[in-house]
């Protein structure tokens, strides 16, 4: 499950059907104390880009929501909010994504970037910036990620995984049993939405 790559896909859906030249996007991820994230994507366009975007998905939030859910089947998503500023030709999309951080059996948390030698800058003890021009978006979009970890996160560092890709690792008290149950059932609902019907059988067995 590549967290940042899934957000690349989300951003691609936001600009599908357009040809952008050195456009900048800002993506903010605010992680909470149980590994979920509030994601906000914002972007400003020129007149032609704005017209094209509105004619594709900008004027159809329901279709945009469906496409994003299809593109990010690994997560349970909710609270979609699309705000448009026609005068300044800009938009802001926010949503909640559950389970973006992983926790292993030893209690170590991680957030994957899906990038080798990611360009990460530490802004504060709990806030980091990652700048990228992903090939998935044609290399013409500069994306600036702002990742903010909760105060409960300790010993945050950028390391490498088994594929030599950059990953955030940190320590944090694990979620309570009730939160764990919520995330487990949310994951089951996600499996059903994604069409992996084997998850339905698993759900029935657990009844």
Strands 154-160 and 166-171: antiparallel
Question: Do 162 and 121 belong together in one domain?
Answer: yes
Residues 113 and 32 in one domain: yes
State what percent of residues in the chain have pLDDT above 90.
24
Do 181 and 168 lie in a common domain?
Answer: no
- Is it the case that residue 194 has pLDDT exceeding 80? no
Q: Residue 76 belongs to what H/E stretch?
A: strand 76-85
- pLDDT-based confidence at residue 124 (cuts at 50, 70, 90): very high
Same domain, 161 and 185: no
Residues 65 and 148 in one domain: yes
How far apart are alpha carbons 42 and 173 in whole angstroms? 31
Please give the structure tokens belonging to residue 81: 């909010």
Query: 162 is in which domain, residue-wise?
Result: 3-175
Average pLDDT over residues 107-118: 85
Range 103-111, long-range pairs (CB < 8 A, 24+ positions):
103/35, 103/174, 103/175, 107/171, 107/174, 108/169, 108/170, 108/171, 109/35, 109/153, 109/169, 109/170, 109/171, 109/172, 110/161, 110/167, 110/168, 110/169, 110/170, 111/3, 111/31, 111/147, 111/167, 111/168
Same domain, 162 and 199: no
User: Is the model more confident about 3 or about 98?
Assistant: 98
Contact 139, 20 (CB under 8 A): no
**The predicted structure's pLDDT at residue 24:** 75
Residues 125 and 199 in one domain: no
Q: Do 184 and 155 reside in the same domain of the chain?
A: no
What's the pLDDT tens digit per position in 146-170? Answer: 999 999 999 999 998 777 788 999 9
Residue 142, pLDDT > 70, answer yes
* 186 and 166 within one domain: no
* 133 and 198 in a common domain: no
> Which pLDDT score, from 0 to 100, does residue 205 have?
45
Nearest to 15 by CA among 138, 98, 130: 138
| Selection from 28-32, 39-43, 76-80, 181-185 with the highest mean pLDDT | 28-32
Whether residue 63 is found in the same domain as residue 97: yes
Same domain, 183 and 170: no
Structurally, the chain folds into a number of domains equal to 2
């Amino acid at each position: 499950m590549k967290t940042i790559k899934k957000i690349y896909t989300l951003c691609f859906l936001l600009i599908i059907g357009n040809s952008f030249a050195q456009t900048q996007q800002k993506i903010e991820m605010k992680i909470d104390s149980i590994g979920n994230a509030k994601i906000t994507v914002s972007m400003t366009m020129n007149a032609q880009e704005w017209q094209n975007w509105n004619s594709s998905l900008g004027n159809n939030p329901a279709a945009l929501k469906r496409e994003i859910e299809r593109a990010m089947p690994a997560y349970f998503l909710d609270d979609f909010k699309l705000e448009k500023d026609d005068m300044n030709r800009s938009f802001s999309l926010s949503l909640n994504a559950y389970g973006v951080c992983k926790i292993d059996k030893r209690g170590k948390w991680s957030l994957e970037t899906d990038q080798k030698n990611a360009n990460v800058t530490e802004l504060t003890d709990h806030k980091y910036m990652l700048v990228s021009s992903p090939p998935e978006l044609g290399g013409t979009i500069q994306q600036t990620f702002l990742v903010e970890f909760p105060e409960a996160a300790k010993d945050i560092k950028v390391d490498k995984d088994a594929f030599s890709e950059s990953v955030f690792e940190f320590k944090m008290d694990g979620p309570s049993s009730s939160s764990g149950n919520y995330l487990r059932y949310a994951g089951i609902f996600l499996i059903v939405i994604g069409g992996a019907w084997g998850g339905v059988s698993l759900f029935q067995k657990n009844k």
